[in-house]
Structure 1
Amino acid sequence: MIQVLAFYLFATIVLLSGAFTIFAKNPVHSVLWLILAFFNAAGLMVLAGAEFIAMLLVIVYVGAVAVLFLFVVMMLDIDFAELRAGFVRYLFFGIVLAVFLAFEMILGLEAFRAGAIKLGTASSAPVDAGVPNLEAIGGLLYTKYIFLFEAAGLILLVAMIGAIVLTHRKRTGVRPQNVAKQVRRRPQDAVRNLKPEIGQGVEL
């Protein structure tokens, strides 16, 4: 019974958080709603018995959202003084949200201890029930879906390069980085072997 209650709770919050992510006018608020959606999606994965995917959602996706937050800050002109001014106004809402998230974590742990939701019979499972999640996912990623996996990595690389290009700007007083000069630098030009005498100290 507790698994069904936790499932409907997490699923409802995922749908609502996704909708608020789209319709929020402030990009920072959109990122926060997206983080909430990822956390609740991780709870759904725990209920389904996919603990590895749940940890990936928390570690990889939430970490990627933090990087996305930095990109938004760099690309948009956000007045943080105005955002800090509304801290006291939203303090009660933040406390209520924190208590609710704690309640969700406790409910998810209790539902996990009660056992995973049975999504199908053993005969319909694509892999053996005795195979761990990590081994089954790795076997699929690097055999059947290897080209899609590599394509996803290439798309993420292009997105990262595009974000760097968009946020790169020349600043006055800052010496530009010469990558070619750094690559051509030899170890003997960067390191000096000295034999200082006792009590001589360091030459600056």
Structure 2
Amino acid sequence: MIATAIAFYLFAGITVAAGFMVIAARNPVHSVLFLILAFFNSAALFVLLGAEFLALILVIVYVGAVAVLFLFVVMMLDVDFRDLREGYLQYLPVGALVGLILLVELLLVLGAWIVSPDAAGFAAAPAPAISDVHNTRALGQLIYTQYAYLFQAAGLILLVAMIGAIVLTLRHKPNVKRQVIADQVGRTRDQAVEMKKVEPGQGL
């Protein structure tokens, strides 16, 4: 028990410190490396809890694919972070509004969960023994029954984060021709096809 507690506090402390360094590091490459460190220690915490499936998924999917992809993208993109820091104040009202809306939605979800008459029954439901239900099935039952709303809220937060990352890094070059979907969809046959009458002997 003492060794387990020491390992838990060690991995938890490193995870919290690495998470703080992700947002505090000035170099984005260092931030991604700290994120990988946080993922590894989170996987170790899942192993201590007996959730080996989550630990393997965290290492294989997030560390092996997502975090490494982030690292390559950050290293290959020529993004001037000084310009991004100078212009962030103009997006501050919109960002504050979006954050306020998300906060209200999360509070509504949490309040509905607390005042729901079925919440007490879900919380008091006895958990089956580990030997009766294997890891993956138990995880699915928890996520899609008791924590379904929280699971949807986490997906919404990830969607907002993805859109924010695209907006922050998307830069339009003035001399590059862009694709306009509305013009392509609204184009008629007369605009796309032109009939030419070629007389004999006037062809190529």
CA shift, 1:54, in A, is 0.8
* Contact kept? 2:39, 2:62, Cα under 8 Å: yes
CA shift, 1:167, in A, is 2.1
C-alpha separation between the residues in 2 aligned to 1:159 and 1:19? 17
Q: Which runs of no fewer than 5 residues in structure 2 stay unpaired?
A: 82-124, 188-204
Give the equivalent residue in structure 2 for 1:95.
none
- The 1:134/1:72 distance shift into structure 2, 3 A limit, reads same
Give the equivalent residue in structure 2 for 1:115.
none
Give yes or no for the alignment of 1:158 onto 2:178: no
Which amino acid in the other structure matches residue 136 of structure 1?
A: A
Higher relative contact order, structure no. (Cα contacts within 8 Å, ≥ 6 residues apart): 1
* Contact kept? 2:79, 2:169, Cα under 8 Å: no
Give the equivalent residue in structure 1 for 2:35.
34
- Secondary structure of 1:126's match? coil
C-alpha separation between the residues in 1 aligned to 2:177 and 2:149? 41
Percent identity of the aligned residues?
54
Which amino acid in the other structure matches residue 139 of structure 1?
A: Q
Q: Which runs of no fewer than 5 residues in structure 1 stay unpaired?
A: 79-123, 186-204
* Contact kept? 1:75, 1:167, Cα under 8 Å: no
TM-score by length of 2: 0.53
Larger CA deviation: 22-31 vs 140-149: 22-31
- The 1:6/1:148 distance shift into structure 2, 3 A limit, reads closer
Larger % of helix: which?
2
Larger CA deviation: 170-179 vs 7-16: 7-16
C-alpha separation between the residues in 1 aligned to 2:151 and 2:127? 20
Any residues of structure 2 matched to 1:106-185 within 5 Å, and which?
126-129=127-130, 130-180=132-182
Larger CA deviation: 124-133 vs 39-48: 124-133
CA shift, 1:46, in A, is 1.7
Any residues of structure 2 matched to 1:8-87 within 5 Å, and which?
9-62=10-63, 63-66=65-68, 68-69=70-71, 70=73, 74=77, 76-77=79-80
- The 1:21/1:125 distance shift into structure 2, 3 A limit, reads farther
- The 1:170/1:18 distance shift into structure 2, 3 A limit, reads closer
